[in-house]
Copies of this chain bind each other. A is one copy, B any other.
Amino acid sequence: MNLKQLSEILGLSQTTVSRALNGYPEVSEGTRIRVQAAADKHGYRPNSRAKGLATGRSMVIGHVIPSSSQHEMVNPIFGDFVAGAARTYAEYNYDMMFTHAPDTSIEDSYRSLFNRGVVDGVVLQGPKVDEPRISVLSRMGVPFIVHGRSTCAKGAYDWIDVNNQRSFERATRFLIDLGHRRIALINGLEDMDFAQRRRSGYVAALEEAGIALDPCLLRSAEMTEIYGHQTACEMLKLDDPPTAILASSIISAVGVRRALEDNGLKMGRDVSVIAHDDELSYMRNGMDVPIFTATRSSVRHAGELAAEMLIERINAPNDPPKTCLLEAELVVGSSTGPAPQRA
């Protein structure tokens, strides 16, 4: 069923039917109702490609799957962020498109999506400290939003981010206040912008307290469970092991917990752990009582907001750049406690 057929059935022109369905005022209320009824009855759905061709808009937003090349890993927060965004898109009648790209051609992927007219805008996930994609997209004139920020990016751009620096500074200070001096940071990949900011929050808190930074207590890699486990195991073998560990994701924190248990240590008593909790739906940090003391910020909610900001941008390409800085909450669970007295 297409417009032509529908208009023939109704004995109206395509123009009128199209206008009736799209809510233009030039059509009488009577015919509008008649048209709408017929459309519903026959299950008419305007062909979105044709519509897009005519309007110049595709009502589609593009994401490029951030599959870190090295280990072909899917970012665990990907699913929840996307679910949040999708929810907003559905509300505004946008569809959502994905492209997989090897890390090398990720830029091309964005370019291709936009130049082929597939999407009206794109979401940039997982920005690095130095993120070339941002300037590329700016130059191309693609409406886009960044989930996170990029320290090295020059111009202004739309972004939404968690205050990583502040939340990790706070978490670190919390541990220091509990008497900890040997505090480790098991961080995300070093070239990721968020990791850099978390690190600087951590460093700032240590400095403030006059604690020297020990490189042995600082690691970065992709935030898997295995990585958390292995790193924690190694650190526990140090002559002067950490009494507290900050983990950049709840997933690696799970690995840390496993490491503690493997070593016969009790989390919260022997070693304190604070995790960053993105509130992943399948990896909730406990029910009423949090398992981990955590800096908490819903990545799903961020997805919803990001989508909204992007849609705004698409509708008003010339508005000044918008940004949104979310504050993470510090929730106290049972994984932290006072620093144990040295033997």
Which residues of the other chain, B, contact A101 by a CB distance below 8 angstroms?
A: 90
Look across to chain B and name the residue whose beta carbon is closest to the beta carbon of A222.
Answer: B282
Q: Is the CB of A49 within 8 A of B53?
A: yes
Q: Is the CB of A284 within 8 A of B83?
A: no
Q: Is the CB of A74 within 8 A of B80?
A: yes
A261 at the interface (CB under 8 A from B): yes
Which residues of the other chain, B, contact A291 by a CB distance below 8 angstroms?
A: 258
Number of A residues with CB within 8 Å of any CB on chain B: 61
Q: Is the CB of A83 within 8 A of B58?
A: no
Instruction: State which of B60, B111, B258, B284 has its C-beta within 8 Å of the C-beta of A226.
Output: B284
Q: How far is the CA of A224 from the CA of B280 in the complex (A)?
A: 10
A223 at the interface (CB under 8 A from B): yes
Q: Is the CB of A286 within 8 A of B73?
A: no
Q: How far is the CA of A261 from the CA of B259 in the complex (A)?
A: 12
Q: Contacts A48-B116, A49-B52: A96 and B95 contacting too (C-beta < 8 A)?
A: no
Q: Is the CB of B116 within 8 A of A251?
A: no
Which residues of the other chain, B, contact A46 by a CB distance below 8 angstroms?
A: 116
Which residues of the other chain, B, contact A99 by a CB distance below 8 angstroms?
A: 86, 90, 95-96
Scan A29-72; emit 1 where CB is below 8 A from any B CB, else 0: 00000000000000101111110110000101000010100011
Q: Is the CB of A95 within 8 A of B98?
A: yes
Q: How far is the CA of A100 from the CA of B63 in the complex (A)?
A: 14
A283 at the interface (CB under 8 A from B): yes
Q: Is the CB of B96 within 8 A of A98?
A: yes
Q: Is the CB of A283 within 8 A of B225?
A: yes
Q: Is the CB of A282 within 8 A of B76?
A: yes
Q: How far is the CA of A261 from the CA of B65 in the complex (A)?
A: 37
Which residues of the other chain, B, contact A286 by a CB distance below 8 angstroms?
A: 226
Q: Is the CB of B65 within 8 A of A58?
A: no
CB distance from A176 to the nearest CB of B (A): 28
Inter-chain pairs besides A43-B111, A47-B53, 19 sampled, C-beta below 8 Å:
A46-B116, A49-B49, A65-B82, A67-B83, A73-B281, A73-B282, A74-B82, A74-B83, A75-B282, A78-B79, A83-B100, A87-B100, A89-B100, A95-B113, A225-B282, A226-B286, A251-B282, A254-B254, A261-B261
Q: Which residues of A contact B (CB under 8 A)?
A: 43, 45-50, 52-53, 58, 60, 65, 67, 71-76, 78-80, 82-83, 86-87, 89-90, 95-101, 111-113, 115-118, 222-226, 230, 251, 254, 257-258, 261, 280-284, 286-287, 291
